[in-house]
Each structure stands twice: as C-alpha cells, then as structure tokens.
Chain A
C-alpha cells in the first residue's frame, strides 16, 4: 500500500468515525439539555469535539479542525465550570454539529459549505466565551494553560477509544465516621461498581481489646481500581465523606503507557541457557531464597499487611493487563462488502452442502453419511455465525429520532418526548438501513397528526407533553418495532369520509375497523386539514407500507380515539435467508415465503367444475379466489388430477395459489436475479436446491396486485365490448 492509499484509507475511517461521533455528540447534547449539571455529559461533548478536531487535522481536514477548535474551547470552559450550560449554548452546538456534518459531506462531493454560516456560528461561540471572560479575566488566562495540559494528557490516550486507567486509592476515614451514619463498607461496594477493584483492609491502627472503642472507625483501606469512568467517578463515591476522610487517589497505569514489555532476563535464566547450571540445582537454590516482602517484614521496615496490600496491587495490575490484551483484540472494523461476500460464500456452501447430503443418501454408506452430517452441522453453525456478524443494535437509529423529534416539536409548537425501549435489539445491517425512512415518516405523522397542541391536550385532561414511544424486540424469527403515541387517535368516521371523497372506496363500502385504519396507507390519502411543512402531502404512509413490504415485513395499526395510535412493524431478522414452502409445478420449483402461508388444501377436477371454471375455491365455507401458477407463468404440461392450493394471506386478503405438489418447508439462501430478469414481476429472487436445480421465489403481494390489475382491465374490456 502506498502512502497515498494509506491516507485515503485513514480518511475513510475518519469519515466513518466522525459520523459516529456526531451521532454521539447529538445524543450527549440532547441529554445535557435535560441535565445541564451533568459533568460526565459535558465531558462526552468535549471528548467528541476533541477527537473530531484531532483526527480531522491529522487527515487534512483543516477547515473542520479549525471550526471544531472553537467549540472545543468553549466546552473546555464549560468543563472547568467557567461557563454554564444554557439552551443557547446547546442550540449553538447543535448548529455547529450540523455544520461539521455539512463540511464532511462537502469533502465527499456534497453541496458547498456556507462559509458565512460557519463564521456566524463561531462568532456565536466567541460571544458566549467573551461574556464570561469579562467577568473573570484572570480565570480564563489560567484556563488557557489548563487547556494545554489537558490536551496533552488526552493525546497520550489512544484517540477515539475509552482509556482504561488504574488508580491506587487510600481511603482512611476519620475515627468519628460512624457518627455521621456512614457505612464505609457501602462505599467500598460502590467502588466495586465503578470498576475492577482489589481491596485490602489495613488494621494496624486498631488497638488491643481493652482500649478498643467500637464506635470509632480505625480500619483503613488500600484499593487498586481499574476503570474507564475516570477519576471523577471515584471521587464521586467519596463525595459525602471527602472532608471527613483522607482519600488519596494516584494514577498508577494509564492504559497502554507502561505497556512496553521491559522484562529482562534474570541471572538464573542466563546461567541456565548457557548450560552453566542445571535446572534442578537452580530451583533448589531459589527455594532457599527469601522474598523481598518477607525480608522487609523480618527487619521491621514494614509490616505484613502493607506487603499484602502491595502484592495485591501487583496481582491486580497483572490481571488488568491480561484482560486488556484480550479486549484489545475483541473488536475490529471491516468494510461491509467483505461481509456481503462472506454471506454469499456461506450461501453457496449451504447449497453445496445440501447437494452433498442428497448425494450421500443415494450411496447409503455409513462412513460417508457421518462425514456429511458433520459437514452439515458445521455449515449451519457457520451460517448462523456469519448472519450474526451482520447484526447491529437498532439503538443508533433510535437516537437519531431524538433529534428529529426535538426539531419537529419546535417547528409545530408542540411538546413531545421520545422514549425508547429495546435499543439493543439486533437486526441485519441492511434491514436497519432500509428502516430509517419508513420510521421517519411514521414518527413525523405521529407528531404532526397524532399529538395535539399543548393547550388542546390540557383541555382533554392529558399531560401537556405528548409522548412517542419507540420499542424494538424479538419475536421468533422476526423483530417487532412499535411506534406508539398518546395523541388523539384515528377517527374512523373522518377516515371513511375522506376515503370516499378521494374516491378510494365506495360510499356504501362495508369495512372493518382494521380496514378503515389501513386506509391511511392507501396512495393519495391525507387527513391533515391543511398541508404542513412537516407531513408533506400524503405521500408518506403508502410509501412506508411499500418499503416495509419490500423488506418482507408487515405493518399493523391499532388506534383508540382520544387515547393514541400504535403502529407495529414486523420485520424478518435478516434479508439473506428465507423460510419458504417449496412447491412444484410440472418440472419447475417455486418457493412461497412461509410468513404469508396459511394452509394447504386440495383442488380436484370436480371442485373446478362445481365453480364453473371460475378461479374460486371453497375453503371450509369461505370463498377464496386463487391464481393458477401454471397459467400465470405459462408452464406447459397436463394438470394432475388433484392439485394443491396454497392459501396465503396478504393485507387481510386470502388468495390461493394452485400448484401440482407441495414438497415441504425449505430454508433457503436468497440469490438475486441477474439484470435480464430484473423486470419480471412477481418473482423476488431465486434459490438453488440440493440437486442444483434453481427454484424461483414468488413475490406474493406483487403477484396478487398484478393479477388484480389484469382481471379488472379484462372486466372493463368485457363491459365496453
């Protein structure tokens, strides 16, 4: 790799990292708005800015580095308690965050950066800083040096990584500690929650029994603690007792700084390697040697408990180092194309494995069989593992919506909170990416049409703050995502009247509640009294439905008037694998996604005759129209005496698909079709069967709508003829 390439690679990583940091920055800022006094949040904001600035300068994004520097300086002052966190500051920083993103996008070929706006934002920050320095000029002069030291301190830690530091803490309570109702054991337990702690109690100050006063605290503790939460987290533990106790905190290992292995060979080892002494002799001599601690204790230089404490520290550091080596290797960053390629390969392996199993069955050889079974087990395990690599928690998408909601409610003059649940639910990366737009539409709609204005809410006896609740969770091979609002709910009568007016339904149509609610997903439907800048013009929800269905998911809607609306999205865990029903028509194989299949029934020649050749069947008294697959795909050959109808349900409509044989359930790896077949309607992909035959995967919703279109046009032609 040439140095240019290396730089490009670094740029790529910087862009990726910066995007993550900006997301982190945003969520930290929004949290900070709620808890302006939280120093940890201020720290998070500062660190994000610091990292963007540092790596930006490193990869030649000088404009970004320069711009970010001002923001960083301001937050350093906030961190030192010189500037308070105000709404103005948060707004300004959010603007700066967006500006940084524009700068990054501009470097990627996006639209030009508005320089004037950058200047405006920077002068905003300067104003905030200036306000303060007028009051205490001396303090800010001091803070300059403080900034310098803190920057160098930060540089030592690896950029963009949380630094793990080990501290040595001596906690010596005042004898009268108990009189304040403090239990030191609780403090030590709390310390254990901050990080990995080794605690040694020192009892040398405790007198003999006759002089002992049980109401005084004479024990003190030596603690070695390793944590990524910083020294403040340790100080916080002792906040109530800091003026009553001696709490000494020293840094003994700043994750990685002392990592160099400076181990020298010991004398014995050198002699041994030269062959001058024998191992047994050496061991015998070493056995006679006293340990340093023991010698010191015997000479009365220190006592045993202090040596124990020092040994505990030694052991602690050793353990932490070992742990660190493990975690350092625990995570790597890989381009997603590599993963896609891996999934592809695993898919092919699964196919080959299926062929192998089938071939082996024909040989009926015991040895071969057991090898094949072993290969099968490994293949499935490999497949599951590969799929899990592509899984990402949905949380990052959720935090994006916090910002969306904040801006939306400001635009609309509403007061809305976003609460989330199940942010750690994992989904295929591709699914998460494609989920973003539909979710944005749904949340916009919830805020715009669902949540009422604050005064309306109060009049209705609700809290003036509306809530949008996002939940994600697993349900079998699916993930359920719920968007719940406590707004005014859907009004059935209004929806119905609107749909009639728009010509979507007939005035005399009889619809169930569910069907009426589903109307909001119909193309060209909008209930807003007037168009707002937010919800657009009613193109949202039908697109949502289409997008979700493209992901082989479903949308469900429930609503109670005056109480709120819940939209539930049901999505497959992954797009690469599908549970299907394998069917056969003449010599061709098809796969019907199992998620839409309800049942299979037989269709005899008599049944067809009874319905006068109309494509309608009677499934236990219910009328179910069917599509004859062989007719639709123009498959030649005679129809068997008894055919099978696979009854599916799509959008609450039941439609049958007539095939020759139902072979059974089949889990398949989806292959996309080539360019030539791209425009074939009703086929979503293909899969390769065990014996190498190709089976086409049917796109059921598409097939139904295509056939519906053909039927209605032929009906109209018949009428006009």
Chain B
C-alpha cells in the first residue's frame, strides 16, 4: 500500500511542486493550506508523514508540529519542516517542537525525495 504524505503550505506553487514530486514517486498526497486546515484533515486520515512550511496564517508550522505531536495517533510520525537559510532560530524552535528534520528552500525534487526516503524508509 502506498504511504500517505500531507503537504502543508500556504503557497499553492510549493504545494503543487511537493505534491507533483511525491505523486510521481508513488506516494499518496493530501494537501492542506495552513496549520488549522492540516489539523482538520489529519484526524481520521491515514497520514504517514507531514511536510510543513513554518510561516503560515491561522496556525503556523511550529504550532502545527506541537499539535500533531499531541495527537496519540501521530506521536511518532516523521514531520519535515520547510525552512529558509536565514531561519536558524526557527529551525531550533521546530526541532524542540518535535520536528524530525528539515529541508532548506529552495530545493529540488531529488532533494525532497531524498529526505522523504530518509525519514519514511
């Protein structure tokens, strides 16, 4: 059975790129536009992994990571955050919130797949 990955980003183009790349590699993809949307969609969905942006309206990436880790079903799933080169402190925050790893934007499809393979197997 193919694994399901949720991509959370307020930028449609990033979602599009992530989604297209992952679908091409045989994953099922669920898209969410921000943290709040993600939390609504994740409950009941068989999500195996989350890739989230950090800066989003309504509920930001850090908040989302904390919220997901608080859900018993998703306590141990891999969560990858999308950061930029300059966001080192945000990266630390994300890590202490329970993120598994990070990808620095901009990234290429191969890098994305490399990280997914690394944390999801």
Interfacial residues, chain A to chain B (CB-CB below 8 A): 35, 178-183, 185-187, 189-190, 215, 239-240, 243
Contacts of A243 on B, CB cut-off 8 Å? 95
Stretch with Cβ within 8 A of A (4 or more), from B14-22, B56-64, B96-104:
B96-104
Q: In the complex, are the beta carbons of B121 and A182 less than 8 A apart?
A: no
Q: Is B79 an interface residue (CB 8 A)?
A: yes
Would A181 and B79 be within 8 Å (CB), given that A186-B118, A186-B119, A189-B121 are in contact? Answer: yes
CB < 8 Å: which of A180, A190, A215, A240 contacts B98?
A180
Q: In the complex, are the beta carbons of A183 and B119 less than 8 A apart?
A: yes
Q: Is B69 an interface residue (CB 8 A)?
A: yes
Contacts of A178 on B, CB cut-off 8 Å? 76
Q: In the complex, are the beta carbons of B102 and A240 less than 8 A apart?
A: yes
> What's the least CB distance linking B49 to chain A, in Å?
8
Interfacial residues, chain B to chain A (CB-CB below 8 A): 69, 75-79, 95, 98-102, 108, 118-121
Contacts of B108 on A, CB cut-off 8 Å? 35
**CB-based nearest B residue for A244:** B95
Q: In the complex, are the beta carbons of B121 and A183 less than 8 A apart?
A: yes
- A–B Cβ pairs within 8 angstroms, 12 of them: A179-B75, A180-B95, A180-B98, A181-B98, A181-B100, A183-B119, A185-B121, A186-B119, A187-B118, A215-B75, A240-B100, A240-B101
> What's the least CB distance linking A335 to chain B, in Å?
40
In the complex the two chains form, what is the Cα distance from A239 to B102 in whole Å?
A: 10
**CB-based nearest B residue for A193:** B117
Q: In the complex, are the beta carbons of B69 and A179 less than 8 A apart?
A: yes
In the complex the two chains form, what is the Cα distance from A187 to B78 in whole Å?
A: 13
> What's the least CB distance linking B51 to chain A, in Å?
12
In the complex the two chains form, what is the Cα distance from A518 to B76 in whole Å?
A: 64
Q: In the complex, are the beta carbons of A240 and B121 less than 8 A apart?
A: no
In the complex the two chains form, what is the Cα distance from A699 to B95 in whole Å?
A: 73
CB < 8 Å: which of A181, A190, A239 contacts B78?
A181
Contacts of A240 on B, CB cut-off 8 Å? 100-102, 118-119
CB < 8 Å: which of B76, B101, B102 contacts A179?
B76
Would A186 and B76 be within 8 Å (CB), given that A179-B69, A240-B100, A240-B101 are in contact? Answer: no
Q: In the complex, are the beta carbons of A181 and B118 less than 8 A apart?
A: no
Q: Which of A178, A179, A243 has the most CB of B within 10 A?
A: A179
In the complex the two chains form, what is the Cα distance from A182 to B102 in whole Å?
A: 12
> What's the least CB distance linking B57 to chain A, in Å?
25
> What's the least CB distance linking B16 to chain A, in Å?
17
CB < 8 Å: which of A181, A185, A187 contacts B77?
A181
Contacts of B77 on A, CB cut-off 8 Å? 181
Contacts of A215 on B, CB cut-off 8 Å? 75
In the complex the two chains form, what is the Cα distance from A508 to B100 in whole Å?
A: 73
Contacts of B100 on A, CB cut-off 8 Å? 180-182, 240
In the complex the two chains form, what is the Cα distance from A187 to B115 in whole Å?
A: 11
> What's the least CB distance linking B72 to chain A, in Å?
11
Q: In the complex, are the beta carbons of B121 and A180 less than 8 A apart?
A: no
Q: In the complex, are the beta carbons of B119 and A181 less than 8 A apart?
A: yes
In the complex the two chains form, what is the Cα distance from A185 to B69 in whole Å?
A: 21
Contacts of B95 on A, CB cut-off 8 Å? 180, 243
